[in-house]
Structure 1
């Protein structure tokens, strides 16, 4: 066999082998040395989105025909064909932050907007988004590979708009409600327009104008004073009510004692009257018996009663006029 033919065969074999090897691509989990904080810097590592399934998604792209398959691929090694490779997307939860101490590598400084009553408000927020596996092709065809910049603009627009729905006083008193409302609106917008979801949202700080915050603090101090005064008023009401109750109990006691004493006197009088009536009746019966036996008239009976009255009356207190 001619040497040149051997060379051609060898080159052909090497070329085919190289092309065959280059026709493979993989979607691998993150390396073992990757830390959880580097992958999910603002999400607690105990959350399920930061569990050890840090994989990538991918779309098969042919660079010769400039076409992309619509069906996404999950983690693994695949034979894609010549001039094919993956457009890779993270399956992990990714974080976007807007904070005051903004440095290179973060998405931006704190958001500035206005409340419903026109006051300037600065918001420090962060949230975590996750791409939807079944909508990767739509995401890529709509927003491209540099989709996160669009996510940042969407977040700024949605969060800035949310601040205009409430006045400054509401922000100061209902921060938890405002955070939940912002999370709900941002998640809904991302699901509809960004082909992703927002599982976590943090409203870190709300900065209102100093004069307003000072006025609010003073209002809170005065409200505390009012609350203390109300509590003292309630305490005094209870004290006075107790005194009134004690007085009513004392009056009731006196009333009961008076009723008992009156009842005793009444019973005593009734007994005395009954005894007196019985005594008088016996005297009448006795006098009638005397009159019947002696045949006395009225004058003799009156003389007898007069003599008896004088006899029974104490001599020291008796005066007889002749």
Structure 2
């Protein structure tokens, strides 16, 4: 008979005693297999874990476990601790899911004024220091952080006046952040961030502060207006100087233009007179009465020269009827 022909009935012993032993063996194997599977436990993502005995409740503080699957035995289980950023918020407003509802920080400033602060803190535990955290604070570590942060932040507010919170917000917020880091570091956690986002005084102080700020703003506005007026006046003076300079330059240019035109006209007239004199001299030297047997060469007299010039001028006029007859 081949293996393919074997049935379940063939594998079960025919005798009751052997059949009972086979059944017990199967059950034992099944139980062992289930226990083997349940011996693998997982630390979830974004968490760290501590191993705890499921029967005795004893926690193993020898090491912490990062995310992953581990063979730890079916009698053990993991306690999970979030390694992401967690928020502590000191405020009266509604908070997001997973954040404890805490009240405002109540304290006094450097001058003794009663103040209420809205502060948000983000922290993150160090996964490798999880055994120390559980040894010192068990799973109530956040309550310890809240208590110590409340006291430390209330003390740090005694070092500055309330008006510094908005006059020099960065410095005040940095002081509180440094104090937060100082508090959480020995408690095996990192103070990742802190935001001071609300400051409230008693009503009478707030009203007085508002009046003071309004008065200061009015003074600053008046000073700015005065400065603007001074600069406007200086600008107008400079503009007037430029306008005056432009007027002077224009007048000087106009005078220079007229002078140049007069000089050019005078030079032209002088050149014209000179040219006319040269022409007369040429005419005087050229036009002569030729010598004959009975007379000698004779130059024109002054009156004859003028008359000759007039005759030439009449010849230039197209409307004149004067014509010079050619010599025979």
In which range does the TM-score fall when normalised by the shorter chain? 0.5 to 0.7
Write the distance in 1 (CA, Å) between the matches of 2:55 and 2:65. Answer: 20
How is 1:1-322 mapped onto 2 (pairs within 5 angstroms)?
Answer: 1-29=17-45, 55-63=46-54, 66-102=58-94, 106-192=100-186, 194-235=187-228
Structure 1 segments of 4+ aligned residues over 4 angstroms from their partners:
102-105, 235-247
1:306: which partner in 2? none
Cα 1:239/1:172, change in 2 over 3 Å:
closer
Write the distance in 2 (CA, Å) between the matches of 1:22 and 1:235. Answer: 82
**TM-score, with structure 1 as normaliser:** 0.61
Report the Cα offset of residue 152 of structure 1. 1.5
SS in 2 for 1:8: helix
Report the Cα offset of residue 135 of structure 1. 0.9
**Preserved CA contact (<8 Å) 1:186 1:198:** yes
Write the distance in 2 (CA, Å) between the matches of 1:135 and 1:128. Answer: 18
**Preserved CA contact (<8 Å) 2:53 2:76:** yes
5-14 vs 175-184, which moves further: 5-14
**Preserved CA contact (<8 Å) 2:51 2:79:** yes
Which string of whole-angstrom CA distances, capped at 9 and with x for unpartnered residues, describes residues 25-54 of structure 1? 10122xxxxxxxxxxxxxxxxxxxxxxxxx
**Preserved CA contact (<8 Å) 2:90 2:119:** yes
Structure 1 stretches lacking a partner, 5+ long: 30-54, 251-322
Cα 1:67/1:100, change in 2 over 3 Å:
closer
Write the distance in 1 (CA, Å) between the matches of 2:124 and 2:235. Answer: 64
- The number of aligned residues is 222
RMSD: 2.9
Cα 1:4/1:170, change in 2 over 3 Å:
same
Which string of whole-angstrom CA distances, capped at 9 and with x for unpartnered residues, describes residues 217-253 of structure 1? 2112221222233334445655777899999xx9xxx
Write the distance in 2 (CA, Å) between the matches of 1:139 and 1:13. Answer: 41
SS in 1 for 2:64: coil
**Preserved CA contact (<8 Å) 2:109 2:157:** yes
Report the Cα offset of residue 172 of structure 1. 4.3
Write the distance in 2 (CA, Å) between the matches of 1:79 and 1:176. Answer: 50
Cα 1:237/1:61, change in 2 over 3 Å:
same
Cα 1:67/1:229, change in 2 over 3 Å:
closer
Write the distance in 1 (CA, Å) between the matches of 2:34 and 2:196. Answer: 52
SS in 1 for 2:70: strand
**Preserved CA contact (<8 Å) 2:50 2:59:** no
Bigger CA radius of gyration: 2
Cα 1:25/1:231, change in 2 over 3 Å:
same
Write the distance in 1 (CA, Å) between the matches of 2:169 and 2:235. Answer: 43
**Preserved CA contact (<8 Å) 2:126 2:188:** yes
Write the distance in 2 (CA, Å) between the matches of 1:81 and 1:163. Answer: 52
Structure 2 stretches lacking a partner, 5+ long: 1-16, 245-328
Highest RCO, 1 vs 2 (Cα 8 Å, sep ≥ 6):
1
Report the Cα offset of residue 4 of structure 1. 4.2
**TM-score, with structure 2 as normaliser:** 0.60
